[in-house]
């Protein structure tokens, strides 16, 4: 299995914070999934635009400016498993599934 880690810091001025949530901004889960897909393309060296989210768990909120580490690894069935960490806590995990042949 291949794998890699990718670092990303959430920009404090990211437009996703504009309504998510006033007074206590948190990163929307869809933004974490989008980043996981972008990093999957880097890992594979190929587009993943037709891939699906196999599953996703959001375990801890992520705030503006937090530094994240995305760990991705290929699975025996050709998918990708991912986890996202912020410092010492896991914030999300899941899997990405390639399109059926």
Catalytically active residues are 20
Angle among Cα 79, 67, 50 to the nearest 5 degrees reads 25
SS3 of 55-75: the string is: EEEECCCCCCCCEEEEEEEEC
Q: Tell the residue number behind the tokens 């190929």, with chain if given.
A: 46
Token pair listed for 76:
């025996």
Instruction: Tell me if 96 sits within 8 A of 49, measured CB to CB.
Output: no
């Amino acid at each position: 299995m291949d794998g890699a880690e990718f670092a990303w810091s959430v920009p404090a001025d990211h437009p996703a914070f504009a309504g998510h949530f006033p007074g206590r901004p948190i990163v929307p889960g869809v933004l974490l999934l989008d980043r996981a897909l972008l990093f999957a393309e880097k890992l594979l060296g190929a587009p993943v635009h037709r891939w699906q989210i196999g599953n996703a768990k959001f375990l801890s909120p992520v705030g503006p400016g937090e530094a994240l580490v995305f760990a991705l690894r290929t699975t025996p069935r050709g998918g990708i498993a991912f986890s996202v960490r912020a410092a010492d806590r896991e914030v999300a995990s899941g899997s990405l599934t390639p399109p059926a042949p």
